Amino acid sequence: MTDRDPWTARLSEYVDGELAADERVELERHLTICGECRTIVADLGRLRDLAATLVDREPDRDLWPAINARIGGEPRVLPLRRRWAFTLPQLAAAAVLMLVVGAGGAAVALRGNGPTTVAGPAAIGPVDPAAVPIALAASTSFDHAVAELEQVLAERRDRLDTATVRVLEQSLRTIDRALAQARAALVTDPNDAYLNAHLAETMRRKLNLMRRAATLVAAS
Amino acid sequence: MDDPTPAVDSPIRAGPDDAVDVALAQSGDTQAFERLYRAHVGRVFSLARRMMGPETAEEATQDVFVRAWEKLGSFRGEAAFGTWLHRLAVNLLLSQRSRLGRDRARLEPTDDALEHRSGRGPRPELVMDLETAIGRLPQGARQIFVLHDVEGYKHEEIGAQLGIAVGTSKAQLHRARMLLRSHLEPQAKERM
């Protein structure tokens, strides 16, 4: 190979299989007589393979606090060092919270009669109208996750005391009613921003409650 | 960059909970968005580090996620969230490249011939060397190398993204590879 070797600049294209058939034949003829080009071709192939083995890694520091501040999120409370244990009173508190959600869901079902103010348990941020069908689209993933958790709880429910099971099931029934109401309302008004946000929030609360219950039975 | 819906599949795949968390994040739930951040930050940060360099990678990663939060309303679930995020990241990083206009110390190609290596797989130190060497490439060659050889984009897609001819993309890729080759091989020899 020399500086004037016309093939020097085409070797990557050859390695990538991007040369036209006649050019490829001609270059391969050149490779039979040019050891340096043969070496470069081999190196470029190895380099390309090496690039495909690069692995991703996370930044050395947590970037979330800065991102959270920029998007206007709430400062995060530092996690407890001790692993969080789920107790019956906490589960009951969660159940009460779910009852509030249920009340919100009932109001949702009735809101077609006029403006209704719903005192939900958590503030729901502004919703982009373009995004509203997403909560319904997420239902499949949600149902799958719920089914898995239900299976875990069904297999291990005997590890929970009766009172806990009763509170849990009562809460889940309340949440399910709220979900059903929100979904039914969305059938007639799928682009309603509030309904989508309410459905998404209720889905999250059900998942959280079930995950915590699953954690509880796992630790029992 | 109104809708960063990708034209090609990227290696990113959505986690099973992404759909729920995306829906929650779209409703203003920052905790759900944090879960999305934690699921995808490694991918985005690595892309930023390779395209922008280690000095600005963290800031660029933050910019990507802030931008994603702002643009979540345009995500309609037609592609996996991770794919959408990846394309958004590429678009943003390329626009930042234009804004910053910075360049780095260039690797000068050499005419030294390389000896044939017989190793079966990449040695860890070579992978590390490659990450370092990528960071030292000239900006244009580096981004085309990352997009083509690491991220799997085609020259036509790169040309469209950067507003350059396909031939220019090919030429820059070859230049990048030759520079990397000249950088990596002497170090490999030193370890022998």
pLDDT digits (tens, 9 = 90+) for A181-211: 878 887 777 777 777 777 777 787 787 777 7
Six-digit token string for B13 = 């795949």
| CATH number, span B124-190 | 1.10.10.10
Asked if A39 and A97 sit in the same domain, the reply is: no
- Cβ atoms of B95 and B5 closer than 8 Å: no
Instruction: Report the number of distinct structural domains present in chain A.
Output: 2
Tell me what pLDDT residue A164 has: 72
Same domain, A206 and A125: yes
pLDDT digits (tens, 9 = 90+) for B152-181: 999 999 999 888 999 999 999 999 999 999
Q: Which of B19, B41, B170 sits opposite A141 (nearest CB)?
A: B19
Considering only CB atoms, which chain A residues are within 8 Å of B41? 58-59, 63-64
Interface of B with A in 85-104 (CB under 8 A): none
The minimum CA-CA distance between B62 and chain A, rounded to whole Å, is 6
Residue A30: predicted pLDDT: 93
Q: What is the pLDDT of residue B106?
A: 39
Query: Containing domain of residue A32, as a range?
Result: 8-51
Q: In degrees to the nearest 10, what's the CA dihedral of B24, B29, B32, B37?
A: 120
Rg (CA), chain A: 30
pLDDT tens digits for range B85-123? 999 999 999 888 666 554 443 333 333 322 333 344 455
| Residue A132 banded pLDDT, cuts 50, 70, 90 | very low
Distance (Å, whole) CA B92 – CA A159: 51
Q: How much is the average pLDDT of A11-34?
A: 94
Domain ranges of chain B: 18-100, 124-190
Cα torsion B139, B145, B150, B152: sign? positive
Q: What is the mean pLDDT of residues B74-92?
A: 90
Closest-CA residue to A203 (of A218, A219, A191, A186): A186
Q: Are residues A30 and A133 in the same domain?
A: no
- Select the highest-mean-pLDDT range: A142-156, B53-67, B129-143: B53-67
In a mutagenesis test of the B interface, which of A71, A108, A208, A211 is the best target, namely the one with the most B β-carbons within 10 Å? A71
Residues A12 and A116 both lie in one domain: no
Which chain B positions have a beta carbon within 8 Å of A191's beta carbon? none
Q: Which residues of A touch B75 (CB under 8 A)?
A: 131, 134
Task: Share the mean pLDDT of chain A.
Answer: 71
DSSP states along A67-86:
HHHHTTPPPPPPPPSSPPPP
Minimum CA–CA partner of A133 in chain B:
B76
Two tokens, residue B74:
């345009």
A109 domain-assigned:
yes
Residues A88 and A45 in one domain: no
Question: Is B154's Cβ below 8 Å from some Cβ in A?
Answer: no
Is residue A61 domain-resident? Answer: no
Q: Which residue has the tokens 């020259």?
A: B155
Domain-located, residue A67:
no
Do residue A37 and residue A138 come from a single domain?
no
Q: What is the mean pLDDT of residues A140-149?
A: 73
Asked whether residue A65 is domain-assigned, the answer is no
Q: Report, as an integer, the average pLDDT of B126-132.
A: 75
Q: Which of residues 10-39 of B touch A (CB under 8 A)?
A: 16-20, 22-24, 26-30, 32-34, 37-38
A136 vs A7 pLDDT, higher one: A7
Contact: A141, B17; criterion CB under 8 Å: yes
Residue B143 or residue B124, greater confidence:
B143
What was the pLDDT predicted at A84? 42
**B22, pLDDT greater than 60:** yes
CATH for B18-100?
A: 1.10.1740.10
User: What residues of B are in contact with residue A134 (Cβ under 8 Å)?
Assistant: 19, 22-23, 26, 75-77
Residue A101, in any domain of the structure:
yes
Q: Report CB contact under 8 Å: B174, A42.
A: no
In a domain, A176, yes or no: yes
